[in-house]
């Protein structure tokens, strides 16, 4: 996937914009779960999500290898788009982003604030992705995928930070969107020679990766209706799936109700805001807590970018509705 030297080489580049994020063992999470839980706070980046690390590496290489590129275009539900918008402004590369209709208004506003040109198309991420590929060909833009080797190496820097601080972890729980985050964690574990089990997490209403993991091939779904929009993918990436099958212990499925409960717990136990995907790893750990007793596990709080109305619903004890 990548070598330790490759990972170490991108650390200074990523650190120009993203300082190492904290990882804390919060005592109230142990009270709730009976497990020593370390939270990797990837919500503490300049875009409030882990994706920025990959965007910086991706656009740095693009600018070096194709300095005259007209611009890039991508599809996103928000955090990948913010990553490229932030990194594009830093690199002086124009960024166009396609989002589905009904996407997070606050994530859309953030992408525009970082300087991106926003286009709304389709009803979900996968339809927005197809539109982005078409527009790239029509306008002569570089299509930036949501899963790419540079993205994986970039986001792997957070795993390097986590394992440097806690090298004896028994397990790490990682939410799966298109797969760069979990693949970065798997790759880092491999190059460091650790034995930590990596557990992927999907939403019950967007479980294409679980179905694919079980079947041993790409299995698509007809919908991905979860308020955890960072995980709302219908079509797994074949390369990501292959890496996950080789390196993940298993994949855990959680309901939107369980994710909402984890958002509330993160708020009360750590006073951190988590979007749905950002809380999914903790939701899965709670589900697995009986088998984790006496162990030390980490969860990746991948992002905090939840719209105010959704957060109000969650903190009031409810679960945001989709569809």
Tell me, what DSSP letter sits at residue 22? P
* 301 membership: H or E segment, kind and range: strand 296-301
Helices 180-192 and 4-15, packing angle to 10 deg: 120
Q: Give me the mean pLDDT over the 171-197 stretch.
A: 98
Mean pLDDT value of segment 17-34: 97
Out of 64-68, 174-178, 211-215, 310-314, pick the least confident: 64-68
| d(C-alpha 110, C-alpha 255), whole Å | 28
pLDDT digits (tens, 9 = 90+) for 242-287: 999 999 999 999 999 999 999 999 999 999 999 999 999 999 999 9
Residue 323's pLDDT is what?
66
Q: What mean pLDDT do residues 290-306 have?
A: 97
Residue found under tokens 């109230």: 28
Q: Which of 156, 192, 191 is nearest to 174 (CA)?
A: 156
Question: Confidence band (pLDDT; 50, 70, 90) for 322?
Answer: confident
Domains observed in the chain = 4-49+149-315 (3.40.50.1100), 52-143 (3.40.50.1100)
Token pair, residue 72, equals 């890039």
Q: Grade residue 1 by pLDDT with cuts at 50, 70 and 90.
A: confident
Q: 101, exposed or middle or buried, with CB in 10 Å at 0-12, 13-18, 19+?
A: exposed
Note the pLDDT tens digit of each residue in 74-110.
999 999 999 999 999 999 999 999 999 999 999 999 9
Mean of pLDDT values over 190-206: 97
At 94, phi and psi to the nearest 5?
-70, 140
- At 36, is the pLDDT very low, low, confident or very high (cuts 50, 70, 90)? very high
Quote the pTM value. 0.96
Predicted confidence at residue 180, as pLDDT, reads 97
pLDDT over 70 (residue 315)? yes
Q: Which one, of 74, 40, 69, lies nearest residue 54 by Cα? A: 74
Which pair of tokens denotes residue 116?
A: 């991106």
**What phi, psi does 247 have (nearest 5°)?**
-115, -15
């Amino acid at each position: 996937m990548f070598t330790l030297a490759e990972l170490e080489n991108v650390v200074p580049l990523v650190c120009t914009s993203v300082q190492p994020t904290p990882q804390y063992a919060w005592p109230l999470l142990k009270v709730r779960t009976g497990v020593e839980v370390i939270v990797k706070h990837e919500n503490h980046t300049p875009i409030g999500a882990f994706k920025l690390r990959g965007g910086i590496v991706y656009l740095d290489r693009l600018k070096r290898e194709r300095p005259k590129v007209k611009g890039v275009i991508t599809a996103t539900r928000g955090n990948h788009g913010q990553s490229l918008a932030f990194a594009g402004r830093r690199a002086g590369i124009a960024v166009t982003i396609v989002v589905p209709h009904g996407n997070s208004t606050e994530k859309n506003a953030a992408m525009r604030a970082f300087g991106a040109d926003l286009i709304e198309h389709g009803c979900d991420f996968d339809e927005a992705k197809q539109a982005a590929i078409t527009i790239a060909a029509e306008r002569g833009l570089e299509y930036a995928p949501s899963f790419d080797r540079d993205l994986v190496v970039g986001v792997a820097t957070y795993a390097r930070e986590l394992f440097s601080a806690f090298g004896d972890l028994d397990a790490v729980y990682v939410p799966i969107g298109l797969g760069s985050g979990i693949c970065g964690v798997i790759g880092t574990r491999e190059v460091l020679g650790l034995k930590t089990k990596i557990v992927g997490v999907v939403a019950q209403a967007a479980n294409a990766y679980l179905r694919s993991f079980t079947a041993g091939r790409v299995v698509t779904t007809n919908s991905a209706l979860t308020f955890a929009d960072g995980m709302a993918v219908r079509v797994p990436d074949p390369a990501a799936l292959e890496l996950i099958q080789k390196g993940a212990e298993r994949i855990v499925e959680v309901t939107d109700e369980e994710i909402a409960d984890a958002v509330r717990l993160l708020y009360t136990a750590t006073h951190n805001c988590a979007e749905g995907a950002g809380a999914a790893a903790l939701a899965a750990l709670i589900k697995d807590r009986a088998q984790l007793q006496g162990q030390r596990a980490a969860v990746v709080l991948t992002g905090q970018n939840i719209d105010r109305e959704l957060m109000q619903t969650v903190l009031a004890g409810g679960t945001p509705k989709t569809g």
